[in-house]
Structure 1
Amino acid sequence: MKMIKTISRPALRDQVYNSLKKAIITLELEPGQRIKDKDLATKFGVSRTPVREALKRLEDERLVESLPGSQTRITEINLEEAKKSFTVVATLQGLAARLAAPLLSKEDIVRMKEKNELLRKAIEEKEVLGAVEADDQFHQIILDASDNQEIELALERVLPKVRRLEFSKFSTIDGFKSVEQHDEIISACMSKDSSLACSLVEENWLSLGRVLIDTEPQK
């Protein structure tokens, strides 16, 4: 497991949790893969307690599931669950845009343009991690400006299900469509048009969901 690094003592549970969550989302830990808390503790250089606490949080988020014998399995990607998650993510992100549009500064707009350009370059270079990170950073500017922590807390639970599917199907989607949609979102934010920004952000996420669900092979 390449993502494992020895970490410092403070906030061990959170550090283990964040590292494992990222590995699950990026598919470094593959769907269906079995892991043991003992092995993880050794890899991280910590006791088993923070690992177990982190795994419990991930289980509550349905990213892992418990197995007999102190083992845990990474959950399979559930298409129906991901589809429902896209609806929730789109609604929450749209709400954030509605709140943020009148509040975004000129500096925020400049940063949004910069992140969208990073997204464009990552797509051109087929760098899936860079593309997803740039997309997250773009939307994070809006989330920060919305100044509503409840939205972010709700997104933390559902967004990983969306991103896991995106990592698994990245090569099948036209990422440049998202870049174009981001340009439209930026224009709406520059105009302080809350309703338009909300609808554009919602469609940005929903259209991605439709593409990812439709391109998933039938089992």
Structure 2
Amino acid sequence: MTEKPYWEVPVSSVLRMLEKKTVVDKDIRLKYAYLSLLASVILPTTHTPRISKECAEKIKDLDAFLVYPWGRVSFDMLMTSIKERKEVSMSQNTIALKGFVLALQLVIVECVHALTEVVQEGGSSGSDGDSEGDDDTNESDKRGKKGISPGHACDTFAAEKALVQSIMLDANGETNVAAEYEWLDDEDDVGVSNMLNLIDRRFGFNSQCFVGGSTK
């Protein structure tokens, strides 16, 4: 850690340092753990994450660090990464994205319960390249895990059974975004409003509802 700036240190090195208890100070160990979590889970930009200078500077004030809207930062990073991809690259079997990609799958599973009716063994929430160069570890991680079946998902859409349950329901059972989840520069989007209305009406979504993009 003394040979190079702290923001250039790989997360793997920090984890080894924590395991070996190279640093014994409880507060510093906690800060290292938070920085590793941010770099590898919440704000990942590569398969070999490194400590971010911006995050390391912010953690000097731990209280401010803990109330910082990291979830919003991660969401913005993920959406920007997706929008930068071309249709052809999005249709590939695997694709590398920045941000907490697992959040999308967690929301989908929560909203479309029909997708969990059929699962497959060895499911993985990340891309095939997440454990690049470490096949043994990758196979070990997959044992006992279950994932969404793409075939069942396609059949669900084809049968118009993809009923969506909103996770933003208010006291009246209607979809409503709480003020704390809004962005200062939010603008009304007719397409989004129409989709939310369909969700409230328990509309059965199918692939024909979404046009454009790659048809591969």
Which TM-score band applies after superposition, normalised by the shorter structure?
Answer: under 0.3
More helix by share: 1
Under a length normalisation based on structure 1, what TM-score does the superposition of the two structures give? 0.27
Give the TM-score taking structure 2 as reference length.
Answer: 0.28
